[in-house]
Structure formats: C-alpha cells, structure tokens
Amino acid sequence: MSNIMMLFEPYSLSGLRLGNRIVRAATYEKMADDDGRVTDRLVELYEELARGGSGLLITGFALVHPSGRAGPKMLSAHAESYIERLKELTDAVHREGGLIALQLVHGGRQCPPLLLGGEQAIAPSEMYDRFTRSNSRAMTEAEIWTVIEAFGDAAWRARSAGFDAVELHGAHGYLISSFLSPYTNRRDDYWGGDEERRSHFAEEVLKSVRSAVGGNYPVIMKVNADDLMEGGITPEESLRQVRRLEQQGLDAVEISGGMKDSRVRTIRPDIHRAEDEAYFKDSGKLFKDALNIPVILTGGMRSRGVMEGVLERGEADLVGMSRPLIREPDLPNLMRDGKERADCISCNKCTRFNKMDYVHCVQLKG
Ligand SMILES: Cc1cc2nc3c(=O)[nH]c(=O)nc-3n(C[C@H](O)[C@H](O)[C@H](O)COP(=O)(O)O)c2cc1C
Ligand code: SF4
C-alpha cells in the first residue's frame, strides 16, 4: 500500500467512520457571540472546513461551566438554551458530509479574572499564574463535583445537538490537565498527592461524561504527553494515566503538550524543516505501542510526507492540524490532489487573540 493511500484511507473511530486520517485539531476562533452562542460566521467557517475534506472536525474549546471561561467569544455548552444554535452548526457540517466533535473545557487557573466577573480562577491548588497575573484558589470538594457534573451535562448537550463525538480538553494547563500535573496539583487528598490520586479528577469527569452520553458514543481526551516544564508531567507518567482512562472506557486520545508557563510552547513557531514537524511524535510512538485505543498526534504537522511517515511508523492513527487549516481550510483536499506542504509559515500571528476580533491567518488578510 502506498503512503498516500494511508493518509487518505478511511478510519473507524469507535464506530465513527472518518473519510481519511486528517483531523482538524481544536481551534478557538473567537467567533461565538459574547455569551458563547454559535454565530453565522462560525457556521460558515465550519461549512468551509467540512467541504475542505478533514476526516473529523474538532471545535474550539467550549465552556462547561461559567467558572471556567478561558477566552472571550469562546463557544459554550453550559446551559440547555445553547443546544439549538449548536445544532445549526452540526447540521451545517453534516450537510457538507463532515463529522464534528465538540471540545469541552474548564479553563481552571488559566482563566483571566476579568472574564469571571472579577472572581478568582479556581484550580486544584492556589497558585500564581503569570499570564493572568493573578492567584488561583484551591477548589472545594463541592466545587470539584459541580464541575465534574457540568462536564457530563455539557456532553449530553453535545450529543443532543448532533455532535458525532466529544473531546475532553485535558491538555495545555486547563483544569483537567492541571489536576493531572504534579506541577499544578499540590493537593493531598482524593484529588492529589500521588500519581494515582492526580488521575481521579480526569477519571471522574470521564465517568460523568460516559454516564451522560451512553456507551455507544466516542469520547476523546486531549492530553499533555509532556508539560514541557520542570516538575511537570512526563510522557511516561502521562501514558500511565491514559492507560487508566482507557480501562475506564476512553475511546481515543489526542497527544499534545505544554501549558502557558512552559519553557517550550504548545503552539511552536518557525516550523520550516521536516525535522521540526510532528514535534510530539516520540510520545506518539510511546502511546501507540502501549495503548489499544486510537492515537491522534497533533503539533507541527505541515507536509504530507511527514504525516504519511507518522502513520507508517506507527506514531499515530490520525494526525491533527490547527494552524495549517486556519490558513487553508481545504488543505486535506489539496493534499489528496497532490499538494505536498501547507502554506502556513508558523508565524503564530493568528494566536495574538487580544489584537484580533476573530482568529484568522494574518498572512492572508494583512
Ligand atoms: C488560534 C489557535 C487556537 C487554538 N485553540 C485551541 C483550543 O481551543 N483547544 C485546544 O485543545 N487547542 C487549541 N489550539 C492548539 C491546537 O489545537 C494545536 O494543539 C496546536 O496549535 C499545534 O498544532 P498545529 O501545529 O497544527 O497548529 C489552538 C491553536 C491555535 C493556533
Ligand atoms: S497567521 Fe497564518 S501563517 Fe501564521 S501561523 Fe497563523 S495560519 Fe499560519
């Protein structure tokens, strides 16, 4: 079988039939309205993405509870009244023949207090965050269970709105990730203190989501295979945590890394050579060799040859892209027709959220 065949071969993810191995990784677009409702602009973007040929689209992060708002104009699924507009999004994608998963998040310590009505951000432990320039507050037992339940309720809403899957955002220093990480979880109770206890929050969220959506519905989790910081999670520890989640019914894992404080960034700039691409591929291999569930590898995928190599060497089952699809939503179709490399130059100007009304490729629109 040729390499090209592999990238563009169909793939079954827990019964969900993807047309190819390319996933649009979650990308916050800053295109929802001020309350987090789907806008016409967002529907149009997803129609374009669906026509563009990705096997699965994962939305930008969507809020599960008002205490976890991580960005202005982010999507929300924290109340029943959001279902109707979310359904317009899934209907539009399905009309174009695409599949769509809703990414669910609680922002935890990385939420700017300005977006929380001046309240302190909540997290496993009290800690200073140099990006929000504020201290998070340690969650009470009652708050922890409220958020766990909120994940379940939001997942139920996602299913009701017609999403084909949900992805739990367990990466990048947001709440689930900050419970998993020894750097941000300094508790000494059921929720932290050793590796197993640090996993409990993610496990309880998964249980809550599973009981809300039922057995026959794909639940994916994006994790940090590496926090990329001193005292943070390592690929070996992350793998042990994901194995526990796999035993509890997780359907697939997406590999990423880093948090806002890390020495190396999640969204790495200046990817110019093939060696710079697929920057979590060693973790991909580690995870794939040890797990039975599908592994999605995201981070720096730019050229068809590299993606084909990743699949061929067993470093992933599926490949995720964010920035290249901001610039070229139809990149999968272009690659299927022979394009070798994405136009995205990894300048990261599309991540200057404060300077932009909505996320777009600055190289295209000046
Ligand atoms: C503008 C922008 C918004 C992003 N928003 C999210 C998000 O909502 N959830 C998430 O898990 N990752 C988010 N990411 C990270 C990407 O999913 C991905 O992990 C990272 O950009 C590396 O992949 P890439 O090299 O293909 O861009 C975002 C990235 C960008 C550039
Ligand atoms: S602004 Fe455009 S070229 Fe630069 S990283 Fe974003 S999508 Fe890529």
The pLDDT tens digits for 163-172 are: 999 999 999 9
For residue 109, the CA-to-ligand 2 centroid distance in Å is 27
Mean pLDDT of 329-343: 97
Given ligand 2 and candidates 270, 328, 345, 359, which is best to mutate, with the most ligand atoms within 8 Å of its CB?
345
pLDDT tier at 342 (50, 70, 90 boundaries)? very high
pLDDT of residue 265: 83
14 exposure class (CB count in 10 Å sphere: 0-12, 13-18, 19+): middle
pLDDT of residue 1: 44
Pocket lining: 359 vs ligand 1, CB cutoff 6 Å: yes
- Summarize the confidence of residues 240-258 as an average pLDDT: 97
- Does residue 356 have its Cβ closer than 6 Å to ligand 1? no
pLDDT at 262 over 90: no
pLDDT tops 90 at residue 274: yes
Evaluated on CA atoms 14, 16, 22, 26, the torsion sign reads: negative
Distance separating alpha carbons of residues 364 and 366, to the nearest angstrom: 6
- Higher-confidence residue of 122 and 365: namely 122
Per-residue pLDDT at 4 exceeds 90: no
pLDDT single digits (tens) 21-54: 999 999 999 999 999 999 999 999 999 999 999 9
Atom of ligand 1 nearest to the CA of 351: 1
pLDDT digits (tens, 9 = 90+) for 282-305: 999 999 999 999 999 999 999 999
The pLDDT-based confidence of 239 (bands split at 50, 70, 90) is very high
Q: Residue of the nearest CA to atom 2 in ligand 2?
A: 361
For atom 6 of ligand 1, the residue with the nearest CA is 27
105, β-bridge pairs: 63
C-alpha of residue 241 to centroid of ligand 1, in Å: 22
Q: At 3, is the pLDDT very low, low, confident or very high (cuts 50, 70, 90)?
A: very low
Task: Report the pLDDT value the prediction gives residue 365, as an integer from 0 to 100.
Answer: 61
pLDDT tens track for 45-65: 999 999 999 999 999 999 999
Nearest Cα residue to atom 8 of ligand 2: 344
- pLDDT value for 260: 85
What pTM does this model have? 0.97
pLDDT at position 130: 85
